[in-house]
């Protein structure tokens, strides 16, 4: 018999308990449904905020008493007070609402249908708003498609890359203009400290940073040092950590140039930068204009002329052309648990970053994981190694997630609920095949 409706509201906790008796076949389904509704609601909210803003401007235009700037402030205060959030947050919502309604309506539509999250919409607006207005129309559709397909961190990275690509034809001009703004800034800080900042071409500065890092690590490994310089918590015999040593080394170099007090290992160490250049782009400008831009690891795209200069130089650059180079060491089998340097570099270079779903931790700050444990017979080879950041390394080993390396270094993460996520490495290694003799 139905219970009589007595007019009182059913407490939410009761309602939740009722639901729990009827579990859905997919336990994540209800959560994802609500998530989609939140996205949809967010689209409505931003649209309503923009309508509210426009109405306020229209009213002000009729009376002619308030400047547009003051209308904005008034609207912001009113919204913030009503929604009980800060004005800072409110302003971000207003900017986003305006951008989505007027500049990126297809993104608003996608958000409204629950195909991207509010975080995706936020990133899409902030990244596209920073692009030259002429280039934006080419970016909106691919940006929406990425937002609908990728987790937030990956989406942000890929959209940045896309923007860099679209802007690449103007990179020479933009770089030249930017180089003219190079400078050193000295800023006093409290406690008898100060900042010295150098703004300059990224390639040289990254090389410089890598150099002081290597010098710092050499000092950490000095006799009596606690040893493993790859351990972030390692300290030198005098108690200095890597951050402090880097600062001291740079200070020494600035002030004294060549420093006699450094151990031999730390002297004359040169930077090593990984440059990726599409092979054809090296040939001539015509190919360069058509192809992908050259990239420096950790820096981004660089002018092709600069890349040619770097690749022509025999010294300190690890050059990786995007066509097969032979002679790579890819496996040492069961000879050694710790991968030799060539393999460590190759595995990190291939992955680019932590190969957990949605993670953007750069590979050089990751642990190298034997995907099949060494203890269980896993080999030390590129097909059994991948970088995971400390957090995801723990997840892989300590939870019910199952992680497997597929062909091409793709990682398959299977969630405790059986959902499967494939994480693509940044790059593919060239495949080395041996021609089989014909059977007849």
Contacting residues toward Zn ion, per CB under 5 A: 354, 356, 359, 361, 389, 392
Cβ pair 313, 272 in contact under 8 A: no
Q: State the first-to-last Cα distance of the chain, in angstroms, to the nearest integer.
A: 82
Q: Which is nearer to Zn ion, 144 or 354 (CB)?
A: 354
Helix, strand, coil shares of the chain, percent, nearest 5, are 50, 10, 35
Q: Which is nearer to Zn ion, 104 or 388 (CB)?
A: 388
Q: Is 163 exposed, middle or buried (0-12, 13-18, 19+ CB in 10 A)?
A: buried
Phi and psi angles of residue 183, each rounded to the nearest 5 degrees, phi first: -170, 165
Residues facing residue 412 across a β-bridge: 404, 422
Both tokens of 319, joined, read 């050059």
Rounded least distance, CB 388 to Zn ion, Å:
6
Residue 160: which of 211, 191, 186, 124 has the closest Cα? 124
Q: Which is nearer to Zn ion, 52 or 421 (CB)?
A: 421
Q: Which residue has tokens 């007027």?
A: 102
Residue 124: which of 114, 136, 133 has the closest Cα? 136
Find the angle CA(361)-CA(230)-CA(270) to the nearest 5 degrees.
95
Rounded least distance, CB 318 to Zn ion, Å:
24
Rounded least distance, CB 401 to Zn ion, Å:
12
d(CA 103, CA 347): 41
SS3 427: coil
d(CA 186, CA 184): 7
Q: Which is nearer to Zn ion, 138 or 419 (CB)?
A: 419
Cβ pair 125, 95 in contact under 8 A: yes
Rounded least distance, CB 358 to Zn ion, Å:
8
Q: Which is nearer to Zn ion, 106 or 404 (CB)?
A: 404
Q: Is 37 exposed, middle or buried (0-12, 13-18, 19+ CB in 10 A)?
A: exposed
Rounded least distance, CB 391 to Zn ion, Å:
6
Q: Which is nearer to Zn ion, 202 or 395 (CB)?
A: 395
d(CA 349, CA 361): 13
Q: Which is nearer to Zn ion, 115 or 392 (CB)?
A: 392
Q: C-alpha 48: how far from its chain's center?
A: 32
Rounded least distance, CB 356 to Zn ion, Å:
4
Q: Which is nearer to Zn ion, 93 or 423 (CB)?
A: 423
Q: Which is nearer to Zn ion, 118 or 370 (CB)?
A: 370
Q: Which is nearer to Zn ion, 318 or 390 (CB)?
A: 390
Rounded least distance, CB 22 to Zn ion, Å:
36
Helix (H) or strand (E) holding 40: helix 29-63
d(CA 107, CA 101): 9
């Amino acid at each position: 018999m139905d219970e009589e409706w007595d007019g009182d509201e059913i407490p939410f906790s009761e309602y939740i308990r009722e639901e729990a008796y009827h579990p859905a076949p997919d336990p994540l389904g209800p959560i994802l449904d609500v998530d989609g509704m939140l996205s949809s609601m967010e689209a409505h909210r931003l649209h309503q905020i923009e309508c509210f803003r426009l109405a306020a401007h229209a009213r002000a235009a009729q009376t002619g008493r308030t400047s547009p700037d003051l209308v904005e402030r008034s609207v912001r205060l009113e919204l913030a007070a009503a929604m009980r959030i800060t004005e800072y947050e409110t302003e971000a919502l207003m900017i986003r609402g305006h951008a989505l309604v007027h500049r990126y309506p297809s993104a608003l539509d996608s958000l409204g249908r629950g195909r991207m999250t509010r975080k995706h919409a936020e990133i899409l607006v902030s990244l596209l708003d920073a692009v030259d207005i002429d280039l934006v129309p080419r970016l909106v559709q691919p940006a929406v498609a990425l937002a609908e397909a990728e987790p937030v961190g990956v989406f942000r990275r890929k959209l940045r890359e896309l923007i860099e690509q679209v802007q690449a034809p103007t990179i020479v001009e933009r770089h030249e203009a930017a180089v003219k703004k190079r400078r050193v800034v000295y800023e006093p800080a409290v406690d008898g400290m100060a900042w010295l900042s150098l703004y300059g071409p990224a390639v040289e500065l990254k090389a410089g940073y890598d150099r002081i890092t290597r010098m710092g690590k050499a000092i950490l490994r000095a006799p009596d040092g606690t040893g493993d310089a790859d351990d972030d918590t390692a300290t030198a015999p005098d108690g200095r950590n890597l951050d402090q040593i880097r600062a001291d080394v740079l200070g020494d170099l600035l002030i004294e140039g060549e420093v006699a007090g450094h151990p031999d290992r730390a002297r004359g160490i040169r930077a090593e930068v990984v440059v990726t250049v599409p092979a054809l782009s090296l040939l001539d400008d015509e190919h360069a204009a058509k192809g992908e831009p050259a990239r420096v690891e950790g820096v981004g795209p660089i002018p092709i002329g600069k890349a040619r200069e770097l690749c022509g130089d025999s010294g300190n650059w690890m050059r990786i052309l995007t066509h097969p180079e032979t002679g790579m060491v890819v496996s040492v089998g069961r000879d050694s648990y710790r991968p030799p340097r060539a393999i460590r570099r190759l595995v990190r270079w291939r992955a680019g970053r932590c190969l957990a779903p949605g993670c953007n931790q750069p590979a050089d700050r990751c642990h190298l994981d034997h995907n099949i444990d060494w203890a269980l017979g896993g080999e030390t080879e590129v097909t059994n190694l991948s970088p995971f950041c400390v957090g995801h390394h723990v997840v892989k080993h300590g939870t019910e997630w199952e992680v497997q390396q597929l062909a091409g270094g793709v990682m398959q993460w299977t969630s405790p609920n059986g959902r499967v996520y494939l994480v693509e490495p940044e790059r593919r290694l060239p495949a080395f095949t041996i021609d089989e003799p014909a059977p007849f």
